[in-house]
Amino acid sequence: MAVCREDGWAFGPGGGCQGGSGGSFPQIPKVDIGGSCQWAGAMTSRIVESMTRRPSVALPAAGVMTVIPLENLRIHTYEAPETAVYVNSHIIETEKRLVVVDTQLLRPHAEEFRRYAESLDKPIDRVIITHSHPDHWFGCEYFRDAPIHALAEVADGIVGGGEAMIQAYAPIFGDAITGTVTAPEHIIRPGTETIDGVTFAYEKAEGAEAGVNLVIEFPESRVLLAQDLVYNRVHVFLQQKEMGPWLAHLGRYMEKEYDYVLPGHGLPSNKQALADMVGYLEAAGSALAASSDVPTLKQHLVGQYPFYRGDYILDISGRYLYGA
Ligand SMILES: [Zn+2]
């Protein structure tokens, strides 16, 4: 299936790939219908409505917001719960505008994230999608009123592979994922751009977590929005055994000075997250060389990183690495 190509992602049992029944799936907490979180309460009507296309997994609780206040901008990060692999969406809040980066996998989270953006009471200038994995763009349907931007390769990946990704996820998540492809229509070119007085420096990083990844630097604020080049204390999606290009990108960023590093999965951090990621990928390289199946790979990496969340991401990786 097309979704099994390099930039696809497939989750859990029956995820659509060859041998897709072999993976395990996390124990997911049930939704607390009377949830105490202010955002969780409002998401329940959609969940109830969605039962006509019933997901095969229990739907998740609400995400976690982190806010970093800086001199000329505030950065808001929404981290999804376990079911959605702790994926992050960010809002770069300038004086008068909001720039949204990535839009979540599941509808309840995308909707909740959109509502949070509304609460900031500023216009959404644009949405930026960093790469074509579905956990970063399925939620674009909640941002159709804003221009959606991406690198050309990322936009092409979504246009060409989006439908197959939706079909692969529908048996698991039912109506909790989008039913239509909402693709970026505006192309980002590497280089710098000023939005409402803030410099965005765009870099294209190839051969890392996805084939093509957008990395955004905010030089005046010493912030690196690394997105999926960095997972912070979350097990990493590995789709290839060669870690060289990915490590080379991280090595370049390690040489620069940043006060904050924003990962694609796991909570916002600082340069320690870059160093940790280098260590993890080096360990992954050794573990991959010593493993020919997922249980052995997990034994190595979970053994070395027992406090990291999301070890089922290694099961997902196994489909790409070992075909089962
Ligand atoms: Zn991701």
Q: For 129-170, write each residue's pLDDT tens digit.
A: 999 999 999 999 999 999 999 999 999 999 999 999 999 999
Tell me the CATH architecture of domain 2-321. Answer: 4-Layer Sandwich (3.60)
Distance of CA 141 to the CA centre of its chain: 16
Amino acid at 178: T
Protein residues with C-beta less than 5 angstroms from the ion ligand 1: 133, 135, 228, 264
H or E stretch covering 272: helix 271-289
Contacts of 182 (CB under 8 A, 6+ apart): 137, 140, 141, 143, 144, 148
79 CA from centroid of ligand 1 (Å): 11
Task: Round to whole Å and give the CA distance between 324 and 311.
Answer: 16
**Model pTM score:** 0.83
264 CA from centroid of ligand 1 (Å): 6
Which residue(s) pair with 151 in the sheet? 188
Ranked by mean pLDDT, the top range of 6-10, 52-56, 57-61, 233-237 is 233-237
Domain ranges of the chain: 2-321
84 CA from centroid of ligand 1 (Å): 9
Integer-rounded Cα Rg, in Å, for the chain is: 18
Q: For 247-274, write each residue's pLDDT tens digit.
A: 999 999 999 999 999 999 999 999 999 9
pLDDT of residue 10: 39
Residue pair 96/120 in contact by the 8 Å Cβ criterion: no
